[in-house]
Structure 1
Amino acid sequence: MYLNYFGLSDNPFSIAPNPDYLYMSPRHKEALAHLTFGLRESGGFVMLTGEVGTGKTTVSRKLLQQLPDNTQVAMILNPTLSALELLATICDELGIDYEAAKGSLKYFSDKILKKLADNHQIGVNTVLIIDEAQHLMPEVLEQLRLLTNLETNREKLLKVVLIGQPELQQLLKRNELRQLAQRITARYHLLPLDANEVKLYVGHRLSVANGDVHIFSEGTLRAIHAISGGIPRVINLLCDRALTLAFTKQSATVKKPVFLAAAEQILGADVVAQRLQSQSRAILIGLFVLSIALGYGIGAAYV
């Protein structure tokens, strides 16, 4: 609706996972480096966690692009499965033929272990990626650990990437999962974008759509960070609504009051007020600490 008005060739803030708009912040690049390093190690598991909407899927897609050609990937997007269902799904993903009537934990495990050995024999690496892994049941995670028992003198034949929300970290602290937790060779917790990264993120998405970051005023960009908390998915929702509202008001730029009105439509006035108050409190605390440091420094100069 607002594309022609702002001279945009496409919707820059769609929440659809369009790879053309992929923005790898320094945090995302660091997360990718950790996962890549972990998959090169001899252990069986690597883990990526982060709050909803921080870009875990973005990192996992980039990881897929960077895997060597001699890699077979099994991807599980819905992990709310029993141990038996998980093994059957892994068989499906790896193209393993099986007879459903014979399905048992041992039957599927034997099939998968043979596939891993065959892949290794022909120089193919096998990687299992599980999204939303915080939903895995402990007995399912234990079954995954058992699958990684197959190894050569140098490496595991199955590498597992666990991607999930912070609850996954708590899940792996359970006593019955301590053996699995010890096998995680790399882990990274993806934090939200900081204020400067939010500005770069907004500018990147606008530039891909032939737009300019100056569509948003400096005050608006600061408000985007304060209210979104640096969560990319929330940024997209807020900026899309703000551009729509600015268009209806025939405003050439998105000023802070327009953005705040858009944010209230998306999140509610109480949430917006709370986040702005938190930002103000943080600024006051920062100024207080700075004044103390300056006072100490000045006092020390006279001693």
Structure 2
Amino acid sequence: MSSGAMYAAHFGLKQRPFTLLPDPEFLFWSPQHRRAYSVLEIGILSRAPITLVTGEIGSGKTTLLRQLLNRMEEELTVGLISNATGGRGELIRWALNAFGIEVPEDHADYVDLYQALVDFMVHEYAEGRRVILIIDEAQNLSAESLEELRMLTNVNSNKDELFQLILVGQPELHDLVLQPQLRQLAQRVAASFHLGAMNEAGVRDYIRHRLRIAGGDGEEITADAVHRIFDSTDGIPRLINQLCDLSMMYAWTDDEEFVSAETVDAVLEDGVFFGAQLLGGAQKEKQA
């Protein structure tokens, strides 16, 4: 039995409540997450050419995307790209792969690749389906790649657009889209939202929610401990998960019934919570 499973049993839980894997079962609908999800849905329903959602690392963007993918309607053909990189033409290959379109590797130049993707969009439209490409971690794309995507949003049939684009990434994606050379792309962004960190009340509700989903009563982590966790994570879900997971493990090894503020302090003092160092570095960068 793993240590995670053992500490879960210690607290009477059926599973670990604070893993780092995006899991729609644990999705916590904070006011900000609800708004971000609404923007994604509105972008799809309104046939927005481009929808843009940004957020800090670990703010829950990927979990929202998984929830969105689970609820997609049948008349939508959806492709997902994560962590795409590369220069001209390579993003088209990423898109073709996301939709399962096979193109001969040898002899296919950029025009052939582009036309294969356009032909696919036209075919899906003729079958009554809209094509949506979702790009996660889109801040890694170059301005040239983003311009390629913008040109795809120009493909249409009569008054109907055949292709919608959803860009999701870290805050620098917003700045990238606003660069002068991407002015035409920015003008096609019909809906955008920035997913920020949670406040202390949100962190408290988030922690209780995950504990209850895991089979607990939500009180396994005390109010004082929640306050320490909020102060040490800046309200970022991924960091909250890390610190809560470590704190529950510490409480289990000490045979404590609850995670107390002293438990969280022990984790922080031992330096095993790497997120504290990440936040410290980010704060120094802002000050500089």
How high is the TM-score relative to the length of structure 1?
0.85
Equivalent in the alignment of 1:135:
140
Matched, 1:116 2:127: no
Equivalent in the alignment of 2:245:
240
Counterparts of 1:173 and 1:19 in 2: how far apart (Å)? 31
Instruction: Confirm or deny: 8 A CA contact 1:125 1:158 kept in the other structure.
Output: yes
Matched, 1:169 2:174: yes
Matched, 1:260 2:265: yes
Cα drift, residue 174 of structure 1: 1.2
Identical pairs, percent = 34
Judging changes above 3 Å, is the alpha-carbon distance between structure 1 residues 128 and 5 closer, same or farther for their aligned structure 2 residues?
same
Judging changes above 3 Å, is the alpha-carbon distance between structure 1 residues 87 and 232 closer, same or farther for their aligned structure 2 residues?
same
Equivalent in the alignment of 1:226:
231
Instruction: Confirm or deny: 8 A CA contact 1:54 1:233 kept in the other structure.
Output: yes
Counterparts of 1:211 and 1:193 in 2: how far apart (Å)? 22
Cα drift, residue 272 of structure 1: 11
Equivalent in the alignment of 1:193:
198
- Trace 1:36-51 onto structure 2 (pairs within 5 A): 36-51=41-56
Instruction: Confirm or deny: 8 A CA contact 1:238 1:266 kept in the other structure.
Output: no
Counterparts of 2:276 and 2:143 in 1: how far apart (Å)? 38
Q: Give the number of equivalent residue pairs.
A: 275
Equivalent in the alignment of 2:285:
none
Counterparts of 1:78 and 1:273 in 2: how far apart (Å)? 23
Q: Residue deviations 1:267-303, cap 9 Å, x none? A: 469859979xxxxxxxxxxxxxxxxxxxxxxxxxxxx
Equivalent in the alignment of 2:286:
none
Structure number with greater Rg is 1
- Structure 2 SS opposite 1:130: strand
Greater mean alpha carbon deviation, residues 38-47 or residues 71-80: 38-47
Counterparts of 1:269 and 1:121 in 2: how far apart (Å)? 49
Counterparts of 1:274 and 1:96 in 2: how far apart (Å)? 45
Instruction: Confirm or deny: 8 A CA contact 1:245 1:258 kept in the other structure.
Output: yes
**Structure 2: which 5+ runs fail to align?**
1-5, 282-288
Cα drift, residue 175 of structure 1: 1.0
More helix by share: 1
**Structure 1: which 5+ runs fail to align?**
276-303
Instruction: Confirm or deny: 8 A CA contact 1:41 1:155 kept in the other structure.
Output: no
Instruction: Confirm or deny: 8 A CA contact 2:133 2:164 kept in the other structure.
Output: yes
Instruction: Confirm or deny: 8 A CA contact 2:150 2:185 kept in the other structure.
Output: yes
Counterparts of 2:279 and 2:240 in 1: how far apart (Å)? 17
Equivalent in the alignment of 2:98:
93
- Structure 1 SS opposite 2:106: helix
Q: Tell me the C-alpha RMSD between the 2 structures.
A: 2.1
- Trace 1:1-303 onto structure 2 (pairs within 5 A): 1-264=6-269, 265-267=271-273
Instruction: Confirm or deny: 8 A CA contact 1:43 1:155 kept in the other structure.
Output: no
Cα drift, residue 65 of structure 1: 2.1
Q: Residue deviations 1:223-275, cap 9 Å, x none? A: 11111111111111101111111122221111112112213433469859979
Runs of 4+ in 1 over 6 A off after TM superposition: 272-275
How high is the TM-score relative to the length of structure 2?
0.90
Q: Residue deviations 1:87-111, cap 9 Å, x none? A: 1121122232322212222111111
Greater mean alpha carbon deviation, residues 126-135 or residues 22-31: 22-31
Q: Residue deviations 1:63-119, cap 9 Å, x none? A: 112321111111111211223121112112223232221222211111111111111
